[in-house]
Amino acid sequence: MRKPIFPVIALAAMLAACSGGSSDAPGDASGDASGDASGDAPGGSNPPQPPIAPVAPGPTLDDPDADTLDPGTADAFYRVTLENFWGAADYPQEFPDDAHLSLVAGAVHDDEVTFWAIGDTVSRGMEDIAEAGLIDIFLLDEVTPAVAAGTAYQPIEYRTYTGPMVDGEPGISTFDIQASVGWSRLTLATMLGPSPDWFVGVSGLALDDATGWRERIVVDLPLLDGGTKSDIIPVMGGPDIRPPEPIGYVVYDPATGTYQPSDVAENVARLTLQRIR
């Protein structure tokens, strides 16, 4: 039976596209960026932000009288915390003054659609995210058709930068998402900026298990290479790679101060999802 299509809810505040800005603010199951379970300091001076769509009333984990949330509800609301551990102390050579994680884009969806995956080449929208931190092509040309087709529940957009690690404290951003029965997978991506085409994110992360909605999910995010640019230092642009190479890992080489392809993941960020309703 075809799933009903619910209204799209924009979950993010509006800010400028990826051109700079940094900050120095701080931030159990575990997992990895491919979605397998294991394991506010926006840049610049922000204009007033529109309110996030309201969440339906109900008990929350912030309520001391609330029991553990029912894993069998039709909908689940999560608070997403994105931590940026990329900082000058650990990555000193060529570390940019305007370091940040850029705008965040993604979707809550089912297991019939994949927006990006390690080992695949990037889509046009993912290329824009990885190279420039721009999210509109991804949202309009890739997520919106999936919503119309019933394979995605709603897009996710968070238009605020997440600052770098400063004095041992990661940059932190938080935003809320909603999932629903039949759409229990999460995909997110954000550019590590500035960079040629590097990003972090999750692809098809499961928000549920055999018992229902998961209460808390923690995922370490490795640095990923979009495969479309060939530069090895954190600057925008660089020579094009045509045809694009598959998405893979990038690691920092402290001996040379460069970032090189690798078969081993190097985590530079973390995503924590806490169910709130």
- CA 213-219-222 angle, to 5 degrees, is 150
- In this prediction, residues 75-91 reach a mean pLDDT of 98
pLDDT tier for residue 36 given thresholds of 50, 70 and 90: very low
Whether the per-residue pLDDT at 40 is higher than 70: the answer is no
Second CATH level (architecture) for the domain 29-47+69-275: Sandwich (2.60)
Q: What is the DSSP string of 196-241?
A: SSEEEEEEEEESEETTEE-SEEEEEEE-EE-SSB---SS-S---B-
Domain range summary for the chain, segments of one domain joined by +: 29-47+69-275
- In this prediction, residues 184-188 reach a mean pLDDT of 98
Please tell me the predicted confidence (pLDDT) of residue 33: 52
**Predicted structure pTM score:** 0.78
Least confident of 2-16, 70-84, 161-175: 2-16
Please tell me the predicted confidence (pLDDT) of residue 17: 42
C-alpha dist (Å) from residue 138 to 131, 188, 221, 264, 275: 13, 11, 20, 27, 26
Please tell me the predicted confidence (pLDDT) of residue 67: 61
Whether the per-residue pLDDT at 76 is higher than 80: the answer is yes
- CA 194-200-204 angle, to 5 degrees, is 150
Whether the per-residue pLDDT at 1 is higher than 70: the answer is no
What is the rounded distance in angstroms from the CA atom of residue 26 to the CA atom of residue 24? 7
Please tell me the predicted confidence (pLDDT) of residue 68: 82
φ/ψ of 139, rounded to 5, equals -70, -45
Whether the per-residue pLDDT at 93 is higher than 50: the answer is yes
Using a pLDDT cut of 90, give the percent of the chain over it. Answer: 75
Closest CA to 176 of 41, 35, 82, 59: 82
**242 SS3 class:** coil
Whether the per-residue pLDDT at 24 is higher than 90: the answer is no
Please tell me the predicted confidence (pLDDT) of residue 64: 47
Please tell me the predicted confidence (pLDDT) of residue 66: 52
Q: What is the DSSP string of 80-143?
A: EEEEE--BTTTS-TT--TT-EEEEEEEEEE-TT--S--TTSPP-HHHHHHHHH---HHIIIIII
pLDDT tier for residue 5 given thresholds of 50, 70 and 90: very low
- Please, what is the average pLDDT of the chain? 84
The alpha carbon dihedral of 130, 49, 88, 30 has a sign of negative
For residue 269, the one-letter residue type is A
